[in-house]
A and B are shown apart, each in its own frame.
Chain A
Amino acid sequence: MKRIYLDSNATTPMRPEVSAAMIPIFSEAFGNASSIHWYGQQAKSLLDEARQQVSRLIHAEPSEIVFVSGGTEADNLAIRGIAETQKARGRHIITSKIEHHAVLHTCKDLEKQGWEITWLHVSGDGLVDPQDVRRAIRPDTVLISIMHANNEIGSIQPIEEIGAIAAQADVYFHSDGVQSTGKIPVDVKKLQVDLYSTSAHKIHGPKGVGALFVKKGTTLKPEMTGGGHERNRRSGTENVAGIVGFGQAAKLAREGLETETARMLLLRDRLESGLRERIPSIHINAEKAPRLPNTSNIMVDFAEGEGLVISLDLKGVAVSTGSACSSGSLEPSHVLTAIGKTPDEAHGSLRFSLNAMNTIDDVDYVLEVLPGIVERLRELSPHYRRA
């Protein structure tokens, strides 16, 4: 069967160049970068190169990159690392209601430990108002954590404005950049972030590796203690193959950023306008917000998201949904709830997320099969009346 992958905010396939760069590491350049012999030094120079490649993608200094196991660890290290070092100064954190679970659940955990968390509302288009951030700052606020781009609806937050507010108030600022890195230009200096999380597998790199940007001069308590790797910020023998793959993926993402962004926008617009023409009563979430070029989250009236996902899967198309019916918790997506959607509306949500390897044919195949699927499910609905 023809198979089309349109769930790239979940993960992406590795580019062949990435796996090609990784393969020799496993059995040839296998050294431990902490060893002083030839093998160790070979591994160390590979790490140095990858560190440079990743730092360039987000305009950081190589020394400001801490390699970790992925986005979740980067978020945990940033939030818990600052919380631990700053708790004498204050125990208040500002974040938003639409953060990824890695931030959400970390902040909830701190809340249980006695921290006060301000959960900022977002607009109907999924945007945090920087003035809300300003108003939420208190003398005991030690950290602001606002994601750069949302994984479900793709809305891009005004990080530069929030960064300026945080800098002025002298509060640490972390942004989860897992979805934005490699999809839109990122310059950590312009954004004025102190900490920025990234992940390799969202940009055609391997799973199990990510990085936290830690601005020079930031004190962070490590989560992992041991041999003092990564400038004492993350102990544990480096995942050299993974990091080399991340470096390659970052290099390719940087080189292709302009052309790929333009191409993905073209594909996404073709998808959205095509679906609008062919399917009545659909709505595009965060449509008016600045949005990731690869993400399209739509809501289909009188159809249920999980049924749509399974139907598309049976036709070879992989997408995802924020419907309660697809989650173990039976709650609709917290992001759709936060932008004001009722459980009923969230019921019919469908997320398409493209990557650099998708083609016009992929989009056209969705345009060919989805209208029939929606029509079939609507015909089964007791509430649907054909217009």
Chain B
Amino acid sequence: MAYSRKLLDYFENPRCAGELPDANAIAEVANPICGDVMKIWLKVADNRILDARFKTQGCSAAIATSSYATEMIIGMDLQQARAITKEEIAEALGGLPPSKMHCSVLASDAIRAALKDFA
């Protein structure tokens, strides 16, 4: 599998893994294609993401993209976080093989799902 060093690093040493006890935005999404599951916990205040954690059951690309996206949105305002695309996440990790592109959808979907109750 042609994964970048960066992706493998995020897979082996995921940042922001775990749960967030004082989260006020939580979502779980599943990938209907391959069965991967991601849950995200966000702490949101004043239109901004103060903190974020994730848990993912899935392949190395799913775990790495989950971790990267979760780390990336900390400090972002909600518009910025919602605007993150799967391509952006994949590119930041050195690209994904075509058959793995759907993995990075999980993270962008989870972020949008968690923020759906916020204006």
- Is the CB of A383 closer than 8 A to any CB of chain B? yes
Indicate whether A314 sits within 8 Å of B8 (C-beta atoms), given known contacts A330-B33, A330-B99, A330-B102.
yes
> How distant is B100 from chain A, measured CB to nearest CB, in Å?
8
- Which residues of A (97-139) have their CB < 8 Å from a CB of B? none
Q: Is the CB of A380 within 8 A of B60?
A: no
Q: Which residues does chain B contribute within 8 Å of A343, judged by CB atoms?
A: 35
Distance A167 CA – B56 CA, assembled complex (angstroms)? 53
Q: Mark B38-76, 1 if CB is under 8 A from A, else 0.
A: 110000000000000001111111110000000000000
Instruction: Identify whether the interface residues of B are mostly helix, strand, loop, or mixed.
Output: mixed
Q: Are A304 and B33 in contact (CB under 8 A)?
A: no
Number of interface residues, chain B, beta carbon within 8 A: 27
A165 to B12, CA, bound (A): 53
**A78→B91 CA distance, assembly (Å):** 47
Complex contacts, A310 vs chain B, CB 8 Å: 1, 3, 8, 11, 59-60
Q: Give how many A residues have a beta carbon under 8 Å from the other chain's beta carbons.
A: 26
Question: Which residue on A lies nearest to B7, using beta carbons?
Answer: A310
For B40, the closest partner residue in chain A by CB is A382
Once the chains bind, are B14 and A380 in contact (CB under 8 Å)? yes
Provide the residues of chain B in CB contact with A314, threshold 8 Å: 8, 12
Closest to A326 in B: B59
Which residues of chain B are within 8 angstroms of A43 by Cβ–Cβ distance?
none
Instruction: Bits for B82-103, please: 1 = Cβ < 8 Å to A, else 0.
Output: 0000000000000000010011
For the complex, what is the distance from the CA of A310 to the CA of B63, rounded to whole Å? 12
B41 CB to closest chain A CB, in angstroms?
Answer: 10
B28 at the A/B interface (Cβ < 8 Å)?
A: yes
What CA separation (Å) do A8 and B17 show in the bound complex? 35
A325 and B1 form a contact (CB under 8 A)? no
A306 contacts partner chain B, Cβ-Cβ < 8 Å: yes
For this complex, 28 residue pairs linking A to B, each with C-beta atoms less than 8 Å apart, are: A304-B36, A304-B58, A304-B59, A306-B59, A307-B62, A311-B11, A311-B12, A311-B60, A323-B59, A324-B33, A325-B36, A325-B58, A325-B59, A325-B62, A325-B103, A326-B1, A327-B99, A330-B33, A330-B99, A343-B35, A377-B57, A377-B63, A379-B17, A380-B57, A381-B37, A381-B55, A381-B56, A382-B38
